[in-house]
Structure 1
Amino acid sequence: MTGEKSAPAQETISFGPFELSSGERILRRDGLVLPLGGRALDILIYLIGRPGEIVTKTELIDHAWPNVVVEEGSLRVHIAAIRKALGDGQFGNRYITNIKGRGYCFVAPVSRSSAASRPVDDGSTSKKGTAFPPRLSRMIGREVAVDTISAQLVTERFVSIVGAGGLGKTTVAISIGRRLFEEFGDLVYFIDLGSLKDPLLVASATGLALGLPINEPDPAPSLIAALRHRRTLLVFDSCEHVIETASVLAERIFNEAPQVHILATSREALNVEGEQVHRLAPLECPSEGAHLTAEEALAFPAVRLFIERAAAHQPGFALSDADAPVAAEICRKLGGIALAIELAAGRVGAYGIRKVAALLDDRFGLLWRGRRTALPRHQTLTATLDWSYDLLPEFERTILRRLSIFAGIFTLEAARSVTAENDADDALVVSAMDGLVSKSLVAADTSDAILHLRLLDTTRTYASQKLVESSEADRIARRHAVYYRELLNRIGMKTLSLGAKLNRTGGVTDAWLETQDGVIDEVRAALDWAYSDRGDPTLAVNLTAAAAPVWIHHLLIDECRERIEQAIALFDEEVCRDARRDLQLFSWLAVAHLESTGDASKIDEAWSRAAELAEELNDSEHRIASLWGLWLGRHFKGDYQGALQIATRFATLPEGTVEAADRFVGERILGVTLHVLGDQTGARVHIENMLRGYVAPPGQVHIQRYHFDQRLAAQTFYTQILWLLGFPDKAMAVGNCTLDDAMTLNHDFSLLYALAFGLYPLSIERGDFGVTDELISRMFQRSEAFRPMRVWGQCYAGVLAIRRADTERGLSLLRDGLKGFAKSNFQSRYVFFLGSLAMGAFDAGDPCGALLTIDEALDQSERNDDRWYVAELIRIKGELVMRQNEPAAAGSAEALFRSSLEWSRKQNALSWELRTATSFAQLMKQQGRGDEARELLEPIYLRFTEGFATKDLAEARSLLTSLGVTFAAK
């Protein structure tokens, strides 16, 4: 065929880790024959014969199926089989590219050699030496490491593969050796040092592996003489237990035999001249909390190894989507250690995948057996770890045992404090830590400014058992708990400093907190011990108090609340009273309830206890915090008269007892309380006083103390007050400014406050439904990181849908939203939502349900003195009654409208007055009382000086026009 460039017979073609023998028609990877069908081989050989060229589909079909008519689909099937065999596309490797509409192209670099130039050899032995180990099974997840180390070994001559036991160092080394057989003319030798009992036998074992006679007491000189002029690769496996002797020999060979290349495997580096260290990482696992399908999980080498080995023991086993998270958890628990994963996979047939996951929490998992043919130290995890543990000096064993008390990541400072007792000073501990890191028993992360350390789960389980057997477990557990109590107490002092920065939800963003990963895990472990029968209740309570700010910082609110309640339960029984500590506990308990359960009675109870303790200690900081908390608790509970007393007390605290900024916070909460009680004029006075005089202290201290920005909170309610007083445009201007400030602040609690209590209700009442839509969308976008955004957004989306006559959808959204949090979380807004529910229920054909709902809202208004919305509730009830078209409906509606007007005027709420007057005037017009309607509505309308484009004013103007009122053109 014209243009054909087929590979010559008896030629070996190499690309990547593959060798293709065109004469034998065999494809190998690292010495292993890959199963590939005859036609697939024909196609592959043809493509490799024309590397870099585009070969048309017609050419390939004619070559593979001469004189036979076949469909193009047959070609695609065989191309797919070739790609699968090559692992095309995995780890960035590309071999065959599909050129759309044209054909296929082989794109990998190709090298060729004549088979006649190589001795006939099956690749299983080295010349004049012992047999090179076979590959036990298909290697998974180490392709990149094999490629990288192979290239480095050829150029640098001396590479050590270093890592923990069971990672697969030997497997990788064997794969590299096989890969480089041709590079070294088959002069590749494997020296297994793991079986040596005497370190002095390292040189003799090397000579035996090379097939050299061993006649001298010290065979090293003759060994080096034999190697000096030979280009050879020596693979020294398992150097760790003979490392002193092995390192000396390796260094001599490197320096005195310049053509010899050395590959070593060890649990610690040899630390000699010329050595390049490649630290073998665990197999990659899915991250914790990832929700993966089976296909997604199998993209991770650790999971792929687990499933492949499980299927080998249980034919037909496959990973389902339901079990994918379980497989991922198993691999994470085993730290990506290949041996551990293989051992666990071997038990899937007996126990099932979920039981295997459960058993990993028990030391039983360390005893599972692997292949009978494996080296003794690789037959169980315990044997592997025994091998490492027994090689340690006694002091390093002691430190390793004590380090097992850490639940996860820890710092060098923590390690020194917890492990260094009277039997060790800091220098010895640091030296031991260096030794454990170098031996791959402790992992070190130096990517940050602070050194982070950790033990793999399997190592921690093993060392923990050794700690228990040493009878010092409780003593070390106490030191661990004391260390974190003292550390968190130091950090607690920082959270009160003016320089502390805050995160988006008001927690302290301290540099230490941002760099100390895993502190919460250590606190949990310490508390589990401290609260146990072997623990110390007083230490448990003190640690709980110290840890509370960190829980809040990480938004672990429920956990914080539960731990504090556990601590308080021990008061007066096992734990002595400590006013300062107890003040902290009750203060944080109140905050935790505020941000989780919203239980007003529990919030109030916790702040009441905190207030008593603050007075006892004459603590002005906590006095203010507890007054704020008491006001908030009463406000949430709907006790607005009680809230008014606290707010008045807050705003009139004697000069000198509080900062001026806090006194203005008192003005703000007094204004908010008067607004809810219906005194809009008084509310405006106090809010404007606050906005004129308030200057926030530096460092965002008030956001930390009061949970949201105080100026922003004042502006939020100012929008509502201005709207009620008849200034809809001014209200919108303040609302937009507040939103801009909240977005600049980038603080979720403050943004939620500005939206839920300000712009949402304002835009709905003004009839700016497009603005409301945009705000709801913005809130939903932030709801992934801050759940309350979704709850409030859903409620207001329901209100908006009802106002737009999308009744069924609106009722569903609003009802679901109201289920998202306790009524006490939005007590003063609840009557607003009930009013919308009532209107929606009526429109949905449920007049009885509508009236019941509006009566529920009116009952709450009466019960709590929640009066800010009462005029509108009465008007809504009048509308519902009037729309029933019953004989007495008009009279009842008129009475309700008159009551609504009375409430509006009493509160100087001009916007409610206009809305009620419009409803009442429409009723009068229907009854033929046009003059009365005009006399009622016109003077109210004329009192407005702005907002004429808003929905209420536009409707009132239209009604007045229909009643004969003329307006001057503007």
Structure 2
Amino acid sequence: MNIMDARSRWSASQNVICFGPFRLSASARVLEKEGGPVQLGSRALDILIALVERPAEVVSKRELIARVWPDLVIDEGSLRFHILALRKALGQGRSSTRYVTNVSGRGYCFVAPISRVASSPALLSNSLAYSPVGLPPSPTRMVGRDETVQRISEELIARRFLTIVGPGGIGKTTVATAVSHSMLAAFDGAVHYVDFGPLGTPSLVPNMVASTVGLPGNFDDQLAALPAFLRDRRMLLVLDSCEHLIGTIAPLAERIFREAPEVHVLATSREPLQVEGEKVHRIQPLAVPPDDEPLTVARALTFPAVQLFVERAAADGTGFELNDADAPIVGRVCRKLDGIALALELAAGRVGAYGITGIASLLDGPCRLLWQGRRTASPRHQTLSAMLDSSYNLLPESERLIFRRLSVFVGAFSLEAAQFVAAGDILEREQIAEAIAGLVTKSLVAVETSHTGTLYRLLDTTRAYALAKTIDSGERNTIARRHAIYYREFLERIEITFLTCSKNDGAAERWRHVSNARAALEWSFSEQGDKELGTALAAASAPLFLELSL
């Protein structure tokens, strides 16, 4: 019996197939688990039906492709993708039960025991059309993001297409998930969530979106078929973790926005999609305590970064409780980690091993990049190093080079300073400016604006990562020398300006140079440094330190 004959016999039957906790009706195209619908794309469902029609038999890959993609030329990568989606929906891998196995060189086999029962009216009447597909569970508790969720929800309704942008680990997915759950009622449950994080093949992007929204699998050009399929449907389509596939996702999202007027699109990415209709919402770090006021427990816990740190440290089972003595140290830790949620969670998870003081001291070294997080987190969110690797590896070589060289700056720096220090002997100033703009867009360089102009800064964890890359590249001393030369010349130049100003004019402006001057002096008088340059730098910086009572 061939697979098409089996399909005809199956369709004629009104029986429901049971296996494990699941019930499947092929005629109604509904899969349930313990009475509730299982969210499964149409192609993955077709594969499941084809396999359970012939339990314990090997169904060849060729037969499955002919069944699911009739009259189309499809590579085996598409089949593997939907087999993975099917296994995930069945929970295979999270328990010892196996349902679908791969028989090397032959095909796939459904190996779980099955039974047939009379069809259930309740099962046959269930519809998956308006149930959330692939939506992760609602966050059990978010810290400091309620207003953000509310604002994004309002913007999404008004603008239809919004991208949440920010550096890795800041909480984009958490916010997008919370927004999605908050909008279930507004879209009558029609919220469809696509997580691109595990996907590495750009050509499978249309397949993944089509599978999630329920597009039948018999279209030659899914990129063209998707907007037509969605044109008269009202839904929220969430596209999570777009940055590594942005070249493919961006035009698809734009086309859906333009041609399907009832579809609202919410994306998350480390950089904007930069397409028609997109509204960008840059998510900010969690608020941290300022460094210019005494900090008690009561005051510290008014800041979301401290709240998150304390909650995660207490959850580790070590009996941690914040006290007034440790509150200023925790405040410094949160500032050092720039209010980045993932960094705070990873540091809090080491409190039991190192204590609060130990955590604070270790933040000055590279070991924090390797602290492990939750086992169930995606691989790129299990350590800070893995998180930053995923961003660094996406950069073109020119931006990688500038990114590494910018690590020499401590705190804020100007475009002029970056152009002098990072240019070296082979790059033009215009190339530096363009690379910095690209790094800002990709959330690897932060922008600070004030009445004195625009400044740039690498977040502290990002700087530690880039500094390690600079050392590995062998450029550390060359760039440090250029950094010291720049600040020697700069401080000599601005001293003339300072002498013409009153003592109180521009104090904040002068303060921002202190960290870089100190770093340049430290390198100059190190074993690898240049003591002659250091002496000239010390003379140039002395008026600055004296004026600021340092």
TM-score (norm 1): 0.43
Q: Which amino acid aligns with 1:529?
A: W
Offset at 1:552? 2.2
Offset at 1:341? 0.4
Structure 1 residues 270 and 448, CA gap change in structure 2 (3 angstroms):
farther
Distance 1:217 1:448 in 2: 56
Give 1:459's match in structure 2, choosing from 452, 459, 462: 462
State whether residues 401 and 467 of structure 1, in contact with CA within 8 Å, keep that contact through their aligned partners in structure 2.
yes
Structure 1 residues 488 and 204, CA gap change in structure 2 (3 angstroms):
same
Q: 1:144 aligns to what? A: 147
Structure with more of its chain in helix, by fraction: 1
Q: 1:244 aligns to what? A: 247
Distance 1:257 1:546 in 2: 63
State whether residues 129 and 209 of structure 1, in contact with CA within 8 Å, keep that contact through their aligned partners in structure 2.
no
Matched, 1:519 2:513: yes
Q: Which amino acid aligns with 2:546?
A: I
Q: Deviations over 1:631-675 (max 9, x none)?
A: xxxxxxxxxxxxxxxxxxxxxxxxxxxxxxxxxxxxxxxxxxxxx
Matched, 1:554 2:548: yes
**The 10-residue stretch of structure 1 (341-350 or 433-442) with the greater mean CA deviation from structure 2:** 341-350
State whether residues 408 and 522 of structure 1, in contact with CA within 8 Å, keep that contact through their aligned partners in structure 2.
yes
1:943-958 aligned at under 5 Å gives the runs: none
Q: 1:232 aligns to what? A: 235
Give 1:399's match in structure 2, choosing from 385, 393, 402: 402
Distance 1:459 1:296 in 2: 28
Q: Deviations over 1:44-95 (max 9, x none)?
A: xxxxxxxxxxxxxxxxxxxxxxxxxxxxxxxxxxxxxxxxxxxxxxxxxxxx
Distance 1:407 1:401 in 2: 13
Q: 1:5 aligns to what? A: none
Q: 2:526 aligns to what? A: 532
Give 1:213's match in structure 2, choosing from 216, 220, 232: 216
Q: Which amino acid aligns with 1:468?
A: I
Q: Which amino acid aligns with 1:530?
A: S
State whether residues 257 and 263 of structure 2, in contact with CA within 8 Å, keep that contact through their aligned partners in structure 1.
yes
Q: 1:503 aligns to what? A: 503
Structure 1 residues 217 and 517, CA gap change in structure 2 (3 angstroms):
farther
Q: Secondary structure at the match of 1:264?
A: strand
Q: Secondary structure at the match of 2:215?
A: coil
Distance 1:488 1:178 in 2: 54
State whether residues 485 and 546 of structure 1, in contact with CA within 8 Å, keep that contact through their aligned partners in structure 2.
yes
Offset at 1:361? 1.4
Offset at 1:196? 1.5
Distance 2:171 2:544 in 1: 39
Query: Where do 5+ consecutive residues of structure 2 fail to align?
Result: 1-121
1:100-249 aligned at under 5 Å gives the runs: 127=130, 130-249=133-252
Structure 1 residues 126 and 443, CA gap change in structure 2 (3 angstroms):
farther
Matched, 1:357 2:351: no
Offset at 1:380? 0.4
Q: Which amino acid aligns with 2:543?
A: P
Distance 1:199 1:449 in 2: 43
Q: Which amino acid aligns with 1:537?
A: K
Q: 2:483 aligns to what? A: 480
Q: 1:258 aligns to what? A: 261
Give 2:346's match in structure 1, choosing from 339, 343, 346: 343
Structure 1 residues 334 and 221, CA gap change in structure 2 (3 angstroms):
same
Offset at 1:348? 1.2
Distance 2:325 2:274 in 1: 47
Greater radius of gyration (CA): 1
Q: Secondary structure at the match of 2:544?
A: helix
Q: Deviations over 1:323-364 (max 9, x none)?
A: 111111111111100000001111112222221111111111
Offset at 1:495? 3.7
Query: Where do 5+ consecutive residues of structure 1 fail to align?
Result: 1-118, 557-970
1:484-633 aligned at under 5 Å gives the runs: 484-496=487-499, 500-503=500-503, 509=505, 514-515=508-509, 518-556=512-550
State whether residues 133 and 191 of structure 2, in contact with CA within 8 Å, keep that contact through their aligned partners in structure 1.
no
Structure 1 residues 136 and 146, CA gap change in structure 2 (3 angstroms):
closer
State whether residues 131 and 191 of structure 2, in contact with CA within 8 Å, keep that contact through their aligned partners in structure 1.
no
Alignment RMSD (CA, Å): 1.8
Q: Deviations over 1:420-457 (max 9, x none)?
A: 11221011111100000000000012333411100000
State whether residues 161 and 264 of structure 2, in contact with CA within 8 Å, keep that contact through their aligned partners in structure 1.
yes
Q: Which amino acid aligns with 1:211?
A: G
Q: Which amino acid aligns with 1:323?
A: D
Offset at 1:289? 3.7
Offset at 1:143? 0.7
Q: Secondary structure at the match of 1:263?
A: strand
Q: Secondary structure at the match of 1:534?
A: coil
1:309-328 aligned at under 5 Å gives the runs: 309-314=312-317, 316-328=319-331
Q: Secondary structure at the match of 2:315?
A: helix
Q: Deviations over 1:495-537 (max 9, x none)?
A: 44xxx12225xxxx3x5x6535520100000000001111011
TM-score (norm 2): 0.75
Structure with more of its chain in strand, by fraction: 2
**Identity over the aligned pairs, expressed in percent?**
52
Task: Point out which structure has higher relative CO (alpha carbons under 8 A, 6+ apart).
Answer: 2
Distance 2:129 2:392 in 1: 34
Matched, 1:387 2:387: no
Distance 2:454 2:405 in 1: 19
Q: Which amino acid aligns with 1:539?
A: L
